[in-house]
């Protein structure tokens, strides 16, 4: 574990680099902007949801939890005609400060595990290319592919999934560059 502790600076700096890369992707470049659409009749939809008593949580529609519900004629009709989808209702407005801290914590923990993996596969003094190869690949796996099952099962469209993969590849490469440039020299 002391090998990982020796990598505290690249762990921290790779998390910071990915944090700012994410900011660049979402805020400056804005390539995720087309992924979000406004609901038709937004005000009426929001009023309906408020009046329905739907609390914070994830909702799927149409929804059938049991075989008996699947046999219900009204449910069958909704299942066949749609629309189909999910709604995620938050408990309140977006808390940017909290979400930024949580995102940075995720990047930090991910960098920690990438460092751990690198210490298992690389010795001090390993070449830039070998460190970049291993840590960049681990970063790509962590950032680009972890969310794909969620996209598959919860109906994300192709473009947002592709944009997340592109971001993940970029974040993995940034992580690999930081680790490769700061890898400890051999004895």
> Running DSSP on this structure, what letter comes out for residue 11?
H
How far is residue 89's CA from residue 59's CA, in Å, rounded to a whole number?
Answer: 8
% of the chain surpassing 70 pLDDT: 99
Q: Are 175 and 139 in contact (CB under 8 A)?
A: yes
How far is residue 134's CA from residue 113's CA, in Å, rounded to a whole number?
Answer: 12
Domain boundaries defined on the chain: 2-36+95-182, 42-89
- Over residues 145-187, the pLDDT tens digits come to 988 998 888 877 889 899 999 999 999 999 999 999 999 997 7
Structural tokens at position 63: 């929804």
- Over residues 72-89, the pLDDT tens digits come to 888 889 989 989 888 899
Structural tokens at position 93: 């407005």
Mean predicted lDDT score pLDDT of the chain:
92
Pairing mode of beta strands 85-89, 57-61 = antiparallel
- Over residues 119-129, the pLDDT tens digits come to 999 999 999 99
């Amino acid at each position: 574990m002391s090998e990982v502790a020796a990598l505290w600076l690249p762990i921290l700096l790779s998390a910071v680099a990915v944090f700012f890369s994410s900011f660049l992707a979402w805020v400056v470049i804005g390539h995720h902007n087309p992924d979000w659409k406004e609901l038709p009749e937004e005000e009426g939809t929001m009023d309906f949801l408020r009046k329905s008593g739907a609390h914070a949580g994830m909702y799927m529609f149409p929804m059938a939890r049991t075989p008996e519900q699947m046999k219900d004629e009204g449910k069958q009709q909704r299942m066949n005609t749609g629309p189909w989808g999910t709604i995620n209702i938050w408990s309140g407005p977006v808390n940017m400060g909290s979400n930024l801290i949580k995102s940075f914590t995720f990047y930090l923990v991910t960098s920690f595990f990438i460092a751990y993996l690198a210490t298992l596969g690389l010795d001090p003094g390993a070449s830039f290319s070998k460190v970049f190869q291993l840590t960049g690949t681990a970063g790509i796996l962590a950032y680009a592919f972890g969310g794909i099952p969620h996209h598959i099962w919860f109906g994300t469209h192709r473009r947002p999934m592709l944009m997340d993969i592109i971001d993940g590849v970029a974040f993995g490469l940034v992580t690999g560059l930081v680790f490769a440039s700061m890898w400890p020299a051999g004895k």
